[in-house]
Structure formats: C-alpha cells, structure tokens
Structure 1
Amino acid sequence: MGMKLEKNLNKIIIFTLCILMFILYIFPFILILINSFKGRLEVVANPLSLPEKFDFGNFIEAFNTMNYGSAVINSLIVTVLSVSVIILFSSMLAYYLVRYDSKIGKLIFMTLVASMIIPFQSVMIPFVTVFGNLGLLNSRGMLIYFYLGFGISMATFMFHGFIKSIPVELEEAAIVDGANHFQVFFKVVLPMLKPTTATIAILDVLWIWNDFLLPSLVLVNDNVRTLPLSTFYFFGKYTANYSVAMAALVLVLIPVLVFYFIMQKKIIAGVVDGAIK
C-alpha cells in the first residue's frame, strides 16, 4: 500500500512539474498574441492584461509594412535551397569519407568535427569584413553558400555515423549489376539515409528559417530580406511600435507552426531514428 501511494505521489509531482514547465514555455507566446491586438499605448501601460478590444488593424499594418509576401518568398528560397545543398553535399562527402578511407579523409573529417565547436560570433567580424571588401554581400545566393559552409559539418558528422552501418555488400551487388559509383550512391545509399536526412532537414529548416544574425550581416536591401529581418522595421532608433511588432511576430510564427504540425510525426520519428543510429 505504501509503495502504491509513493508511486502515485511521484506521478502527481511529475505531472505538476510538467504543467508548470508547459506554462512557463507557453507564457511568452500568449503574451505576444494578446499584445498583438492592443494599441501602442495599451501595450506600454499594461502588457499583461487582456486587450480592451481585439483590433486586427495591427496585423494589416504589419503585413504591409514588412512586405510579408516578399519576405516569405525570400525565406522559402533561402531555406529550401540551403537545406537541399547541405543534405546533398554533406551526404556525398560523408559517403566518400566512409568508403574511401585514407589519412587525408580522416584529416578532413576531424577538421569538420573540430569546426563544430567554433562559435559563429568569434568569426563574425572578420567574416563581414573580408566578404564585404570583396563585394560578395547582399545576395541570397551568397547567403545560401554561407549556410552550406556553416551547416555542412554537423550534417556530415550525422551522415558519417549512419553510412558506417550500411553493409558494403549492398553496394558491391549493385556494382556487379553494372551500376557506377554515382548510381550506387543515389539509388542504393541515399534512399537508406532517409531517417538521418529527415532529422537534418528538420533541424536545418528550423535553424535557417528563424535565423536573424547571419542574414542581418549578409542581406542589406529591403527586397531580399527574410522574415526575421522584416520584423526589424518596427524598431527605430528612438521609438518602437510594440503592438504592430507583436502582430508581425505572430505572422512570422505562423509558417513555422504550420510546418511543425504537418511534419510533427516525422520530426519525432526522424530525431529518434537519427539518435539511435
């Protein structure tokens, strides 16, 4: 009886802690949502209260001011192409490093792994200075190239571990059947990398779509700005329109939430499968 009581008590404590953690996590999002319907003065006067009346004008103003349609297209182009090239090049590199073992290959792999511990902030100033002097900034193509450089290390590391578990006999059988090395990779190896590919795609989509720092350094012109950069329109040097900014943040969150709800099962399955491998 005492064991059962203790077990039930533990369940209640864990459930209570989970509820508290959920409230702490969801509170900032609720705060953004309720303040997005308020006027500017109402947000400053009492940000924790419910709005006196729900005003959708903030969303219309935010949509027009941040050029929402163009920003969404820019974010989609940058995110889709960046994730695609990261997956393609990192999977090919990992396959080469695993199957064609050499001292140079080991050096390349160790260099990639070591680069993962270098924070972007430590190379940020030289990065902007060098590429700015070369006139290579303010381009979506260069931003995609930079994401490839910063994202290939982790992706290669994850693919490397998975490819080592794939039997070489499958590839040898394909070669006996007349397949060349590219056909072996794209028709035999790459389809078997789906769990890791899903994990990398999900993590990189969330990283690139929500990234502010790197695009803020690379993209200057308004017509190439991504969604996170567009929210900066509402914060001036001396003033800030918090109510419209909150509405803009809600608009920015909508595509991420839609992506998460559509990919929810694949996100969980991909992360679990990738962790096991």
Structure 2
Amino acid sequence: MIQAKSKMSYKQKELFKKIGFYVVTNILMIIFLSPLYISIVYSFKTKSEIAYTGLSWPKVFHFENYLEAIKLSNFMNAAKNSLIVTVGVVLIVTFTCSMAAYVIARNKGKIYSAMYYIALAAILIPFQVVMLPLYKTISNAGLMNTNLGLILAISGFQIGYNVFIYTGFIKTVPIDIEEAAYIDGCSKFKTFWSIVFPLLKPIVSTSIILNALTAWNEFPISLIIAQKDVAKTIPLSQYFFFGQYSSELNLAFASFTMAMIPIIILYLILQKYIIGGLMAGGVKG
C-alpha cells in the first residue's frame, strides 16, 4: 500500500513538472513572439488605427504601407548594403576565427594560452572605449561610408566571442583522425579544411546565425561609419520614420517587419544546429 502511494506520488510529481514546464515555456514563447506580432499588426494599419484599435488584428490590410516604406526610406539600397556587410562579416569571421581557434586548441604553450585569453578579454571591452580610435582608424584608411569599412569594423568586434566558441568546440573533436591524416602526408592546412572543418558544422551554423544577426542589426558602428545616405544600412534607414514632432509608426513597423524576414529564414534553416553548437562550444572553452 505504501509502495503504491509512493509510486502515485512520484507520478504526480512528474506530471506537475511536465505541466509546469509547458506552462513556463508557453509563457516565454508568448513573451518572445509578442514583438513580432506587434510589428506585423501595426505594419498593416494606418496611424489612426494604431491609436484607436491597439493590438487588435487589422480589419483591413494596408499593403501600401510596405510600398511607401520601401520608397521613402530607400529600403532597397539599405537592404543591399546590409546584405553585403552581413555576408562579408560572416565569411571573414567564420574563416579567420575557426583557423585561429584550431591553432589555439591544438597547441600547448604560454603563447597560445595568452592568445586565447586576449581574445576573451576583447569581449569585455565596451564599445565606447574604442569608438573614437575606430573612427580615426577607418577615416585615415579612407573607408568612411563604405561597406568594406563596416565589414572590417564589425568583424573585429566579433573575433573574441567566436574564437571562444570555436576553441571549445574543436577541443571536443578527436585528434586521432588528424594524426592519421598527418601520417598520410596531409599538411596542417589541408587537414583542417578537409577533415576538421567539415566536423564543425554545428558550431559553424551557430556562428553564422549569431554573426549574421549582429551584422544585420548593427547600429552604433554603422552610425559612425555610414554617414551618407548611399552607405546606410537597414538600422539607419529606420531613422527616417521618426521626426522631432511626429512618427510614422505604421511605415516604421512595415520596415521592421521586412528587415526581420531574412534573419528569421536563416534561423529556421540552421536552428537544429544552434543549440548543439553553443552547448559543445562552451563545454571545454
């Protein structure tokens, strides 16, 4: 009788745990999806409808908001610049940080440990500390108002964190397969790209989505470097809808919604690798 009660008690506890888990996760899902819902709803309303109907679903969908937002903010040019910058940052960070992390992970010595901790220390440096030196460097290099200037600046800020997660993940890759490749006559460079790099798919996918998200949404660096309209990215183009005395909220949210679509698609494609990559990257870092 006592054993039966204990079994029932255990089952009840497990049931309550599952119910609590689903309740908490659903609440969090609602919280995290709320901005997306607000953006979509407001993007199809007029300014007066936003003021009077709030968060209710629009009765009439004003698709012209999107056309007007594209026209007024020069959205296509901003999207082109953001795409170029994002792809450039992802490529540079993926290739340089994976190679740097491989060298650090596979070599023992004070110099490699120092390189690793310097990369970690770079994560802790506030942007405000390097803002003026960054401006002077980019300006002296003649890279103001260029996509290349943005790519190099944003990539520099991403190196520390990416070296950290790549190093942690590479340490989980067995070294035996590399030693077999060396015996067969492969160089370290060929071994990395032919054998090790294909095994890094989870962390590469994680790195791609995080770096793409950062580059796509980057605002302070873009504000410093992209000062002319022709060089502005999507975050800077949003400024157009907010004036001193009035704001075009419906057009702004239409622009926000369009800006979110590429990143959401990229996340959906790579989502199955992201959690595994982050967990493995942090285990032995």
| Length-normalised TM-score, structure 2 | 0.85
Please say if 1:150 is aligned against 2:157. yes
Greater CA drift, 265-274 or 73-82: 265-274
Query: Contact between 1:38 and 1:55, CA under 8 Å: does it hold in 2?
Result: yes
Greater CA drift, 239-248 or 170-179: 170-179
Query: Contact between 2:134 and 2:153, CA under 8 Å: does it hold in 1?
Result: no
User: How is 1:167-186 mapped onto 2 (pairs within 5 angstroms)?
Assistant: 167-186=174-193
Structure 1 residues 133 and 53: alpha-carbon distance in aligned structure 2, compared to 1, 3 A threshold: same
Please say if 1:226 is aligned against 2:253. no
Query: Contact between 1:58 and 1:247, CA under 8 Å: does it hold in 2?
Result: yes
Q: What's 1:235 paired with?
A: 242
- Distance in 1 of aligned mates of 2:51 and 2:11: 51
Structure 1 residues 134 and 76: alpha-carbon distance in aligned structure 2, compared to 1, 3 A threshold: closer
Shift of 1:126: 4.3
- Distance in 2 of aligned mates of 1:105 and 1:69: 44
Structure 1 residues 238 and 93: alpha-carbon distance in aligned structure 2, compared to 1, 3 A threshold: same
Q: What's 2:120 paired with?
A: 113
- Distance in 1 of aligned mates of 2:264 and 2:172: 34
Please say if 1:261 is aligned against 2:268. yes
- CA deviations 1:182-237 (Å, max 9, x no partner) are 22222233223222222212221222222222222221222222222222221123
Question: 1:124 aligned to 124, 127, 131, which one?
Answer: 131
Query: Contact between 1:98 and 1:164, CA under 8 Å: does it hold in 2?
Result: yes
Greater CA drift, 132-141 or 201-210: 132-141
SS across alignment from 1:193: helix
Query: Contact between 1:195 and 1:274, CA under 8 Å: does it hold in 2?
Result: no
Q: What's 1:206 paired with?
A: 213
Query: Contact between 1:199 and 1:274, CA under 8 Å: does it hold in 2?
Result: no
- Distance in 2 of aligned mates of 1:79 and 1:48: 32
Q: Which runs of 4+ in 1 moved over 6 A?
A: none
Structure 1 residues 136 and 270: alpha-carbon distance in aligned structure 2, compared to 1, 3 A threshold: same
Structure 1 residues 29 and 169: alpha-carbon distance in aligned structure 2, compared to 1, 3 A threshold: closer
- Distance in 1 of aligned mates of 2:102 and 2:273: 24
Shift of 1:88: 1.0
Question: 1:72 aligned to 73, 79, 88, which one?
Answer: 79
Shift of 1:61: 0.3
Shift of 1:149: 1.1
Query: Contact between 1:198 and 1:267, CA under 8 Å: does it hold in 2?
Result: yes
- Distance in 2 of aligned mates of 1:122 and 1:218: 16
Please say if 1:137 is aligned against 2:144. yes
Structure 1 residues 195 and 38: alpha-carbon distance in aligned structure 2, compared to 1, 3 A threshold: closer
Letter in 2 for 1:152: I
Query: Contact between 2:168 and 2:283, CA under 8 Å: does it hold in 1?
Result: no
Shift of 1:275: 4.6
Q: Could you say what the CA RMSD is over the residues aligned between the two structures, in angstroms?
A: 2.5
- Distance in 2 of aligned mates of 1:199 and 1:64: 34
Query: Contact between 2:201 and 2:273, CA under 8 Å: does it hold in 1?
Result: no
Shift of 1:166: 3.8
SS across alignment from 2:245: coil
Letter in 1 for 2:110: K
Q: What's 2:89 paired with?
A: 82
Letter in 2 for 1:242: L
| Length-normalised TM-score, structure 1 | 0.87
Q: What's 1:31 paired with?
A: 38
Shift of 1:3: 4.3
Letter in 2 for 1:230: S
Q: What's 2:104 paired with?
A: 97
SS across alignment from 1:53: coil
SS across alignment from 1:208: helix
